[in-house]
Structure 1
Amino acid sequence: MLVAFSVTPIGIGDEVGDVVAEAVRVVRESGLPNRTDAMFTTVEGEWDEVMAVVKKAVEAVAERAPRVSLSLKADVRPGVTGAITAKVEHIERVLKQP
């Protein structure tokens, strides 16, 4: 499955990047395929392992913020792997066509 999620600390002011980085650190240390952009972090794996990483990322932010907002979108496709790169590669191939 692919899970795109965003963890936002609330109640710590406008500068949240250092706290959000802790959530990204959790994802990267998980060893699961992942990608972070300006809005979301996407992680790929089996249901239980992905959800455990999301929970741990939320907990890391909650250690430094009194409230945490979580946005999550999932693509559940059992047996599919490599989707985190394959989807983007497909779009790039299409865009290169005349």
Structure 2
Amino acid sequence: MLFAFSVAPAVSDDTTGSVSTAVAAAISVVRESGLPHRTDAMFTTIEGGWDECLAVIKGAVDAVAAVSPRVSLVVKADIRPGFTGELDGKLDRLEQALAARASRD
């Protein structure tokens, strides 16, 4: 299963409005989990089972909640039993489809 999530303070006490310090605390939870993961500018995607992924997401929320009275969380899941390695597998299949399309054009 893949879980893409974004967690951040709903309010920031930084004069620039930056939430990077709180988000860094959340990403530390993800990295310490040992689960396969990828972070980009908008989301962090983790791969694993229900219980382990939801525990990591809760830990990330708790890390942000430690510095903010209000937390925003967005979660999207790709539930596909029997598949692993999809963090890279989905991208590999996409690149193959794009290459096939380019060769037809």
TM range (shorter): over 0.9
Matched, 1:64 2:46: no
User: Which runs of structure 2 are paired with 1:11-90 in the superposition (5 Å)?
Assistant: 11-13=11-13, 14-90=17-93
Structure 1: gaps (5+ residues): none
Deviates more, 1:9-18 or 1:65-74: 9-18
> Distance in 2 between the 1:79 and 1:47 partners?
13
TM-score where L is the length of structure 1: 0.94
Larger Rg: 2
Between Structure 1 and Structure 2, how many residues are aligned? 98
CA shift, 1:59, in A, is 0.1
* Identical residues among aligned pairs (%): 57
CA shift, 1:65, in A, is 0.8
CA shift, 1:95, in A, is 2.1
Q: Runs (4+) of structure 1 moved beyond 3 Å?
A: none
Deviates more, 1:86-95 or 1:58-67: 86-95
